[in-house]
Structure 1
Amino acid sequence: MNTDSNNLSKSTTEKSSNDVDLLALVFVLLRGWKIVLFFALLGLIIGVLYSRYENPTYKSDALIQIDTTSQGVSALGSNISDLVSTDVSPAQTEALLIKSRMILKPVVDLLHLDIRLNDPSINALDKINSDRTHTQINTPEGVALKTADGQVQISQLNVSQAYLDQPFTLVKSGTDNNFTLSNGFDDFKGQLNKANYFRGTDGIIQITVNDLPDNDHPITIAKQSLQNTTDAINGALTVTELNDKTGIIQLSLIGSNQQQITLILKQIVESYIDKNKSRGSEETTKTLSFMETQIPLLKQKLEASEATFNDFRERSGSIDISQESGLLVAENSQIDAQINELKLKKADLTTYYTEEHPLVLQINDQLKVLNNRKQSIKSDIAKLPGTQREFLKLSADTTINREIYLTMLKNYEQLKIVKAGQIGFARIIDMPISTYRTIAPKKQLIVMLSILSGILFGILLVFLKSMLKNTVKDPDRLESKTGVPVIATIPRSSSLTRLGKNKKTPNRLLAYIDHNSLSYEAIKSLRTHLIFGMPEHGKSGQRAKVILISGESPGIGKTFIAANLSEVFAQLDHKILIIDADMRMGELHKMFNIEQNVGLADYLSQEDNESTTSQSITEYVHATGMDNIDFMPRGQHPKQPTTLLASKKFNDLMSQLSAHYDYIVVDSPPILAASDAIILSQYADKLLMVTRYNSSIERQLVYAINQLTKDHVRVDGIVMNDVQRGVMDKYSYHYSYAYGNNK
């Protein structure tokens, strides 16, 4: 054969196999549509219940701008700006600062956010029925919570460290103004609208209760620690910088009460702005404090130097100094001014940093250089005549002290103006407002996701069930697994299925109920296959040919096949005997409306001395009322059915019956339930295994056939019963050759 043809054939076969496997998965899914639908509806129910169980969640936003330039100080001139630092914290640093305890603690204290109230009478069903439940309201006046029996309101709760985060139960005592506070160990009695002070085993409790529900309605109350409270706030608070390096911070707070979260976020914004403003003016305040201590000292020093200089001039009169000496005095005066300015900067820096800070070390180096130059000038002045030296010294001291004093006084007045107009480097752009738009739960999305999850779970379960169960579906697969041909597929009869729901239906043969159906035609096709495959003479050498019908387990329809197969054989004017050899649970007698009391078990249980003539056999074989069909029921339930079938009496029975009938159809017990079929197989010319489509377990059928093979029993064919035809049934083509007026 051509190589290209081989490759093409192989590729086509692999593609067809892949298509079949994919199609098989689709059909498995379609057959399990009820399971998928069930879990989809279950997901829908869970989604709806969850969306009602969860309280609506709201969101409130605010915007703050962080200005990167100093406000107010730079406008007054470069000299004063040099005295006050202009560095500003970046927006990301400020975002982290907003979530700190320094900012949140004042909000917690103002709104009593560390007091938690809970209504223990509210359960899951109440949350589902009401769609939303009341939540506590925190205000500067206290904490309030609405209940079905009234409102609870607490204006104060302080406990010792040991009682933090421990729940207490509050109950109003009758109709008076008393209440009971308990934690399981201690019970305290208090009065409403009064500051109550209790001393318990673990410390003190201070509480002021303004109102409580009636009808002994319990309320759970707890005082949270500051850490847990701020952690809870931070869990609902989001602080981020909009875009990149914009300097604008967005604050977002979520919660189940729109007015509550708006109030809390507003207080957080105000707390941050207050802290920011105090931080901005702190530097100026410290500088002013330093100047206030230095100005009186500089004034005294200036007055002393002027007095000394005036005394010298009165004693010495007028003195003329050279130009070089004047330059030295001027330079010395400038150096003193620079030294004084650096000292001011150093004093300001040391209020924040240590002596080892790089900025402080840099100022120290500058002071060292200036002091060295000052010593050099002092040496040059020392070479002048004594009177001139004294004049220059006193004149320079007076000039320098005057300049230092005037500069300090000028800067002091400027800083006072700056402090009055200083507002910090953060300003509010948008304060939080109440929008009343729910952001969660997104009910439609939750329901859709729940349905999708249910569908996916249902699909997974269908595939898992299919993999674990692996029911009989594909005749080709059965033939490859067992090595036994599938000689017939019997479609399900819709008419018989409808009548089967009525337990009182007297006759269930297809000839009387659904004779125009595909099922009946398939039984006739099975008959044709058996006629052409049957030997001329039976195993016993007698007239009758024996067809043994069995299956791997109960409930597969072997009795249905045996009865209807006997009926279609009788149509050919063959004399048929059908034997119910399932002496344990046989129900073949119901197909023919005959009592099972006198049958096979009764015949085989006779004493050996009783007659076994043909005349006695006829007592156990009954006419069915249909032409050419006789029936031997199972009889009374015997003690040892298998032993009776293995007896010589049964062998003699089969020999006698074979002489009078053309075909004997034997309905035997299931292979996996009893070994009777192995014994009966020695009399059979054809052994058929009946299995039920999409019900029988494939590995059980394979195991049953293997058990027969081990005992040297040959299975001649498999009959697939109750095959359902439709869009979801891929293998319906196996019985498409059977046709009929399937009305």
Structure 2
Amino acid sequence: MNSPKAISLEPRNSGLLIEHDVIPAQVVRDEPGVSIRDYLDLLWEGRRTLGLAAGTFAGTALLYLLLAPPTYKADALLRIDKNKALLTAPLRSENNKAPAEAENPRAAREAEILRSRSVLGKVVQSLNLSVEAEPVHFPLLGELLARRHDARDGVAGAWWGFGRWAWGGEKLKIGEFVVPDRYYGKEFTLTVLEGQRYELSDPDGETLLEGQLGQAGKAELKNQEPLSIRIDELKARPGERFVLSRQSQLTTIDNLKKAFSVKEASKDTDILNVELKGRDPQQLAQSVNDIANTYVQATVNWESAEAGQKLAFLENQLPVIKDRLEKSEAALSAFREKHGAVDISTEAEVLLKQSAEMETIGIQLKQKFEAQNQYLEGAHPEMIATKAQIARVEKKLADINRRIKDLPHTQQNMVSLSRDVQVNTELYTQLLNSAQEQKVAAAGSIGNSRIVDYAVVPEKPSWPKPFIVLPLAVLLGLTTGAASLFMRNSLRRHENYPALLEYKVGLPLFAAIPHSKTQRRLARSEGGPDSRTAVLATRDGDDISVESLRSLRTTLETTLASHESKVIMISSPAPGMGKSFVTSNLASLLASIKKRVLVIDADLRNGRLNEAYGTERGPGLSELMAGEAALGDVIVTLPHAGVDFIPRGRNITSPAEQLALGDLEHWLDEMKAFYNHILIDSPPILGATDAAIIGKQADATFLVVKEGRYTAQELEVSHRRFRQAGIKVQGFIMNDMKEGSSSYPYYGYAYPKTT
């Protein structure tokens, strides 16, 4: 990349030569890096924005805390008995666990049962949760006031005479409210009347019926569709209204599921936490307890039914096995009567014993498979395992039978008949014992779960929580404020880099004046008894801002001395840029090197330079231009600042015309004979044409801009305004650069103050 070429900028009147590097386009794209200090400085500058955003969000959060309906939470604890067989897997052996069981899915399985429609549906029906009734509160504040009323004090009186609204303490218990399906979700209005009576209106506002507390009321809707209602309890003032609606069973269950949660209290503890959220504390506790009781009773019923099914199976098998036993005993008895005593060899006795054992095991496995087939599908792992066991037993039994066939014929028959008797006797005995056990189990079923803790009525709402909502709101406000600051800075960031601004506007930067904390304190004292200290250079000569102005003074002395450029105009695009600060302090610094300096406040509209110097506003420039005062009458000598000063004078109606007609050029030529430098503090160029009139008489013109208070477009338009008036702007001065700003990276290199 070639180095930037230098170009010369010549002022109109002086032949001033200023070397300035032009930034190529490819360099402009590489913006200076942004450090953490830049972001911190940006946040500090925008602290009012951050405070406003945080305050706005905090106020919104407070309003939310006041108006949002509270949400309560009720919970209960259930214990699952992991030693009992799972409801969905009866007759499961410990040696043949399904793969899912190895991962202990009991809690998840029971949680799904708790959320099932079979459990929640019974709760919805028993508590009549499909019917909703809400009192009609006064808009906005009514519900807030009703919540603050203690229901134990009875029904609250009407506020401000609005008796049609509910103000707290009302209670409505509906025993029955049946409407056609197409009216599910529609709102009916119940109005309280005198004498424990009420009036019910349909969604269109038409009266349907007048009913009495505790008595069933019936009416017909459109198309002769029936409606019935019964109010069991009513506490409200006559005239108050309630909104009634009924949801379908399925919709109510789905809504209950959304507010209902089940989770294991701790991993592998088999303790379930059942939790329900809602707005009615009493109903919440009642609903949770009803869910828990319904679930526990369901497990008892399921276990009892399971035991009953097992008992029925055993009772069906007992007659079959008994008949088989009797037949085998009769066959053995007949064989002995026919053949008498038969000598059985040792081998035959062993085969008899093995055959009886295998036969018994095989029959038991087949019975188990038949029982499993009532609960499980054929592809279930346990049924597959049972089939494999049966196959292995049958293989061993076939091998034993082949060995029995090698025995003598008489011994074969004896072994076969004896085996049948032993097997049938053992099976019959086991079935009798199992049947007795199942009778006991069916009579004393207690289920596989217990209620550890019942739900209690919650005393405090679980949401909203002020200590969570407020900090989050403030944090969100700060985040939003910071994001807006960063976004705004990102959109305008390039305008804060002097190098890029020089290239875009076509003006060189003469000085970058850092922010001065001392100047801020001095500005607060303007107009006070010590107001003359508002000129920073006379109060704190070691301030870093003053040091930057000294650099500007050196540059001006070097470039202007050989060209007799005495009249210097300081202007700005808009008010508040700090042109008066630059003018007054630069003048004092020039005076400190034995220069005769005159400062003119030429802002005839809003000039306040006299306040910084602690002098009166007039007579001044306006009187001089009007011919009402001589030059000697308007010049004020300021020993403390080392300069002479012409204030702006009295207010006039047409400043631009006064400057144009007041022979300013003549007076400036006369002043040049007495002063080395004449500094003119002119009005902003974008606000009036005064600066263009004054600039024609100046030898050098500079624009002052304040970091963060200008746009590149403003500076560009200001430059164009002067150029159209035939005035050459020598450059611009960037004022109030913030500490740590990447726009002014040398801020921290000031010498420490000495004492």
With the length of structure 1 as denominator, give the TM-score of the two structures.
0.65
Instruction: Please state how far the C-alpha of 1:514 moved relative to its aligned partner.
Output: 2.4
One-letter code of the match for 1:148?
G
Q: Distance in 1 between matches of 2:399 and 2:498?
A: 112
The one-letter amino acid paired with 2:472 is L
Alignment of 1:138-149 (within 5 A): 148=168
Contact 2:707–2:734 (CA<8 Å) still a contact in 1?
yes
Cα gap change, 1:667 to 1:338, in 2 (>3 Å): closer
Deviation at 1:421, TM superposition (A): 3.0
Query: Is residue 134–residue 147 contact of structure 1 (8 Å, CA) maintained in 2?
Result: no
Asked if 1:184 corresponds to 2:204, the answer is yes
Aligned to 1:514: 531
Given residue 207 of structure 1, which amino acid in structure 2 is its aligned partner? I
Aligned AA for 1:521? T
**Distance between the aligned counterparts of 2:429 and 2:540, measured in 1?**
126
SS at match of 2:175: strand
Match of 1:30 among 28, 44, 48: 44
Greater CA radius of gyration, 1 or 2? 1
Q: Distance in 1 between matches of 2:420 and 2:512?
A: 127
Q: 1:678–1:713: 8 Å Cα contact kept in structure 2?
A: yes
2-structure distance, mates of 1:488, 1:624: 37
Is residue 623–residue 630 contact of structure 1 (8 Å, CA) maintained in 2? no
Work out whether 1:205 is the aligned partner of 2:221: no
Query: Of 97, 117, 121, which residue of structure 1 is paired with 2:113?
Result: 97
One of 684, 690, 697 as aligned partner of 1:683: 697
The AA in structure 2 aligned to 1:200 is L
Aligned partner of 1:117 among 133, 139, 144: 133
Distance 1:464 1:182 in 2: 54
1:420 aligns with 2:443: yes
Aligned residues of 2:526 and 2:534 also touching (Cα < 8 A): no
Deviation at 1:232?
3.4
Shift of 1:228: 3.3
| Structure 2 residue matching 1:683: 3-state secondary structure | coil
* Paired residue secondary structure (1:515): helix
CA deviations on 1:283-315 (whole Å, 9 max, x unpaired) are: 3312433555676788899999999999x99xx
> CA contact under 8 A between 2:622 and 2:648: conserved in structure 1?
no
Q: 1:81 to 1:230 in 2, by over 3 A?
A: closer
In the TM superposition, what is the alpha-carbon distance from 1:276 to its structure 2 partner?
A: 1.2
Give the deviation of 1:64 after TM superposition: 1.0
Question: Take 1:375 and 1:736, find their aligned partners in 2: how far apart are those partners?
Answer: 112
- Which blocks of at least 5 consecutive residues in structure 2 are unaligned? 1-30, 152-164, 638-645
- Residue identity opposite 2:701 in structure 1: L
For the 8 Å contact 2:360–2:427, the answer to whether it is kept is yes
- Return the offset for 1:96: 1.9
Cα deviation code 1:228-274 (max 9, x no counterpart): 33333333433233544443433344445555433322222221221
Provide, for residues 89-121 of structure 1, a one-character-per-residue CA deviation record: whole Å limited to 9, x for no partner.
833312221221122222222222222232341
CA deviation after TM superposition for structure 1 residue 63, in Å? 2.9
CA–CA separation in structure 1 for the residues paired with 2:429 and 2:647: 140
Which of 118-127 and 397-406 deviates more?
Answer: 397-406
Residue 60 to residue 599, structure 1, CA distance change in 2 (3 Å) = same
Deviation at 1:631, TM superposition (A): 7.2
CA distance in 1, matches of 2:582, 2:425: 129
Determine if contact 1:52/1:127 at 8 Å carries over to the other structure: no
Instruction: Give runs of aligned pairs for residues 226-625 of structure 1, distance below 5 A.
Output: 226-256=249-279, 259-290=282-313, 320=340, 345=368, 348-352=371-375, 358=384, 411-433=434-456, 436=459, 439-466=462-489, 482-485=508-511, 492=519, 497=524, 514-519=531-536, 521=538, 529=553, 546-556=567-577, 580=602, 592-593=617-618, 618=627, 624=633
Partner of 2:123: 107
Q: Distance in 2 between matches of 1:324 and 1:250?
A: 67
> The residue matched to 2:231 in structure 1 has which SS?
strand
Distance in 2 between the 1:626 and 1:656 partners? Answer: 12
Q: Which amino acid aligns with 1:658?
A: D
- The separation in 1 between residues aligned to 2:190 and 2:683, in whole angstroms, is 73
The CA deviation at 1:219 is 1.7
| Kept after mapping to 2: 8 A contact 1:622/1:632 | no
Counterparts of 2:515 and 2:438 in 1: how far apart (Å)? 105
Choose 442-451 or 468-477, whichever is displaced more: 468-477
Secondary structure of the structure 2 residue equivalent to 1:670: coil
Amino acid at match of 1:266: N
Counterpart for residue 161 of structure 1? 181
Gaps of 5+ in 1: 1-16, 72-79, 136-144, 501-509, 540-544, 604-617
- The CA distance in 2 between the partners of 1:451 and 1:422, in whole Å, is 57
Query: For residue 105 of structure 1, what is the amino acid of its counterpart?
Result: G
Provide the C-alpha distance between the structure 2 equivalents of 1:38 and 1:678, rounded to a whole number of angstroms.
40
Larger deviation, residues 90-99 vs 160-169: 160-169
Name 2:684's counterpart in structure 1.
670
The answer to whether the 8 Å contact 1:471/1:697 transfers is: no
Secondary structure of the 2:120 match is: helix
Identity, % of aligned positions = 22
CA contact (8 A) 1:589 1:596 kept: no
Q: 1:705 to 1:129 in 2, by over 3 A?
A: farther
Q: How many angstroms does 1:191 deviate by? A: 0.6
Q: Tell me, in whole angstroms, the C-alpha distance in 1 between the residues paired with 2:704 and 2:241.
A: 69
Q: Distance in 1 between matches of 2:508 and 2:292?
A: 80
What is the aligned-residue RMSD (CA, Å)?
Answer: 6.4
Q: Is the 8 A contact 1:236 1:253 kept in 2?
A: yes
Q: Which amino acid aligns with 1:61?
A: A
- The amino acid of 2:289's aligned partner reads K
In structure 1, what residue type is equivalent to 2:44? L
Aligned to 1:60: 75
CA spacing shift, 1:231–1:696, aligned 2, 3 Å: same
Contact 1:65 1:428 in 2 (8 A): no
1:550 Cα deviation from its structure 2 partner = 2.5
Change (3 A) 1:287 1:374: farther
State the TM-score, normalizing by the size of structure 2: 0.64
Hey, what's the Cα distance between the residues in 2 that align with 1:736 and 1:393?
A: 117
Output one character per residue of 1:651-676: Cα deviation in whole Å (capped at 9) or x when no partner. Answer: x7625762477467656553334666
Q: Provide, for residues 521-558 of structure 1, a one-character-per-residue CA deviation record: whole Å limited to 9, x for no partner.
A: 3899989959967669978xxxxx54434222245465
Aligned partners of 1:599, 1:158: CA distance in 2, in Å? 96
Q: Check 1:358–1:596 CA distance in 2 against 1; reply closer, same or farther (3 A cut).
A: same
Task: Give the match for residue 654 of structure 1.
Answer: 665
User: How far apart, CA to CA, are the structure 1 residues paired with 2:748 and 2:539?
Assistant: 12
More moved, 41-50 vs 159-168:
41-50
Amino acid at match of 1:206: S
Task: Using the TM superposition, give the Cα deviation of residue 122 of structure 1 relative to its aligned residue in structure 2, in angstroms.
Answer: 5.8
2:159 is aligned to none
Greater displacement, 172-181 / 404-413: 404-413
Q: Which moved more, 1:429-438 or 1:677-686?
A: 429-438
Aligned AA (2:131): I
Q: Structure 1: which amino acid aligns with 2:79? A: I
CA distance in 1, matches of 2:352, 2:669: 152
CA distance in 2 between counterparts of 1:134 and 1:115 reads: 25
Asked if the contact 1:168–1:222 (Cα under 8 Å) also holds between the matched residues in 2, the reply is yes
* 8 Å CA contact retained: 1:688, 1:716: yes
Q: Secondary structure at the match of 1:484?
A: strand
Deviations 1:2-28 (CA, angstroms, capped at 9, x unpaired): xxxxxxxxxxxxxxx999954454344
Q: Distance in 1 between matches of 2:713 and 2:752?
A: 26
